[in-house]
Structure 1
Amino acid sequence: MNLALWIVAGLLAAAYLFGGGGKLIMPKEKIAAFGPSAKWVEDFSAGTVKAIGALEVLAAVGLILPAAVDIAPVLVPLAALGLVMIMVGAAITRIRRHEFKFMVVDLVYLALAGFVAWGRFGPESFIG
């Protein structure tokens, strides 16, 4: 179970580091040009898109770094819960925009982040 949690956390960290970093460095118009799955940025200001990117990068770091250096490992499940909240917002945005096909990926990310939060708060906690 511990190995599965590390693998899922690592994959999530890589995905959110890449995705959040892209939101931080690219203008929202360029993000929207990636295709129909990225049109959600049209509903938000450039500052909001950058803030979402910053939160994703922070969560990616929080999924790995605290446990890897054994400093405040309780931040790992908290980072995972943060990602769950981000993905709930993403799913709500998809529902509002009637983009149900793209929402499937958001729900997969939500489930994976929820798995890490559950596992690190519960049976494979770094504390105790």
Structure 2
Amino acid sequence: MNIALWIGTALLAAVALVGGVTKSFVPKTRLAAQHGGEWTEKASVGFVKGIGAVEILAAVGLIMPRVVGVAPVMVPVTALCWVALMVGAMVTHGRLGQFGFVALNMVYLALAVFVAAGRI
């Protein structure tokens, strides 16, 4: 079970890191031109970069507490925060009719629930 939890955590952290770096460093106009990034058109630059920063912190919070052995309770807390973020993403993509992204966010949400439940 521990190996499955580490694999799930690593996958979730990779998704969070890639998404966070993209939102933090790619210009908003370029994000808005990408499929799935249309939501950024009406969002402020600060909001998009803020979401990116939260995703980068999530990647760190999913891995580092268990690796260094300091406050490992932060892993399930971070995973539950990721659940909240995915609910928001599902609502946003649903409003835009992007149901493929809603399904993908559901997968990420389920993975986060698995990690949170397994690390409590």
For normalisation by structure 1, the TM-score amounts to 0.89
Partner of 1:65: 64
CA distance in 2, matches of 1:118, 1:42: 36
Partner of 1:20: 20
CA distance in 2, matches of 1:44, 1:52: 11
Gapped regions of structure 2 (runs ≥ 5) = none
Partner of 1:116: 115
Aligned pair count reads 120
The alpha carbon displacement at 1:118 in A equals 1.1
For normalisation by structure 2, the TM-score amounts to 0.94
Partner of 2:105: 106
CA distance in 1, matches of 2:23, 2:93: 18
- The structure 1 segments of at least 4 consecutive aligned residues displaced by more than 2 Å after TM superposition are none
Gapped regions of structure 1 (runs ≥ 5) = 122-128
Partner of 1:96: 95
Partner of 1:125: none
CA distance in 2, matches of 1:63, 1:105: 19
Seq. identity, %: 53
CA distance in 1, matches of 2:12, 2:93: 20
CA RMSD between the two structures: 1.0
Partner of 2:80: 81
Partner of 1:52: 51
CA distance in 2, matches of 1:60, 1:31: 21
The alpha carbon displacement at 1:38 in A equals 1.6
CA distance in 1, matches of 2:106, 2:11: 15
CA distance in 2, matches of 1:23, 1:42: 13
